[in-house]
Amino acid sequence: MVGIEITEKNDTVLALVLRDIPLEFANAIRRAALEEVLTMAIDYVVFYDNTTALSDEIIAHRIAMVPLRSDLAIDKYRRPEECRGSNPPEGCYVSLYLEAETGPQEELVIYSKDLKPQEDPEVVPVYGDIPLIKLGPQQRVVLEAWARLGRGREHIKWSPATVSVLTYIPNVRVITERCNLCRLCVERCPTKAISVVNDRIVVDSTKCNLCRQCVSVCEPEAIELDWEKDRYRLLIESSGSLKPERIFLEAVLQIKTKLLEFQRSFKEVFSGVGGGS
């Protein structure tokens, strides 16, 4: 049976061990965390004034990179599929506003916290201290930024996870009979997984990352690398827009939705043909 074990969990990181799950499925979750999960990000910027040293395109790009709080927004706003076209329906976009000006002799750094939500106080930058623009004396910038839900597949700014990694769980075996105790593997192992205990090479497989350094130095070929079947470690690191566990759940949900859609269209095709069960 599929099993999950949490090895690490905090506001930004979630580390799991997935048990009895095929690689294809585990990797689908990993990828879905990056490309499928919906998040809020700024997609459209209207400039009313910009006399800064940076051009509109650069500022717009910088603002788009700011992660926005999305946990509530996911359910509140329309999905990107519904927001296409030049005239999107209500409930697609939400705006943030930025206005700043400097006097003579004044310099000012604008941070992400200066992006003020207009309609929805829940869609705000996650981190307030991301520097966006530096204004020199007598410069002004006024803009309205429109955010919507999107997926990482469209643009990476909509990806809630910065890191999403699926790794094997190693199983390192030392064939003691062949080992001549040259200790080269101990020296070369970057993760310090190998040690010598009572004149025997002992490997702590939990530390190993399968880098093969020990194998390449071991002349008598006393080390064999292997990994466990259908057990994987999954590590998700959040950009802040969603909690990591939410990313995981949403990823699974997205896969499920896709499969359901797939099922539905499959059924449609069959009912069209006249078959069906």
Binding site for other proteins (CB under 8 A): 23-24, 26-27, 30-31, 34-35, 47, 50, 53, 55-58, 61, 65, 152-153, 155-157, 159, 162-168, 188, 190-192, 209-213, 227, 232, 235, 237
List Cβ neighbours of 85 (8 Å cut-off, separation of 6 or more). none
Q: How far is the CB of 173 from ligand SF4 (least distance, A)?
A: 10
Q: Tell me how far CA of residue 154 lies from CA of 1, 36, 41, 158, 211, in angstroms.
A: 35, 9, 12, 8, 33
Provide the binding-site residues for ligand SF4, judged by CB under 6 A: 172, 174, 179-185, 189, 191, 193-194, 201, 203, 208-214, 217-218, 220, 222-223, 225
Nearer of residues 50 and 117 to other proteins, judged by Cβ: 50
CA dist., res. 46 & res. 95, Å (int): 10
Helix, strand, coil percentages in the chain from 3-state DSSP, rounded to 5: 25, 35, 40
Which of ligand SF4, other proteins, none sits in contact with 146, Cβ below 5 to 8 A by type? none
Nearer of residues 59 and 117 to other proteins, judged by Cβ: 59
Nearer of residues 235 and 242 to ligand SF4, judged by Cβ: 235
Nearer of residues 4 and 181 to ligand SF4, judged by Cβ: 181
* Cross-strand partners of 197: 200
Burial class from Cβ neighbours inside 10 Å (0-12, 13-18, 19+) for residue 39 reads buried
CA dist., res. 157 & res. 171, Å (int): 37
Which of other proteins, ligand SF4, none sits in contact with 23, Cβ below 5 to 8 A by type? other proteins
Q: How far is the CB of 209 from other proteins (least distance, A)?
A: 5
Which of ligand SF4, other proteins, none sits in contact with 182, Cβ below 5 to 8 A by type? ligand SF4
- The first and second tokens of residue 214, run together, are 């020990």
Nearer of residues 28 and 166 to ligand SF4, judged by Cβ: 166
54: left (phi over 0), alpha (psi -120 to 50) or beta: beta
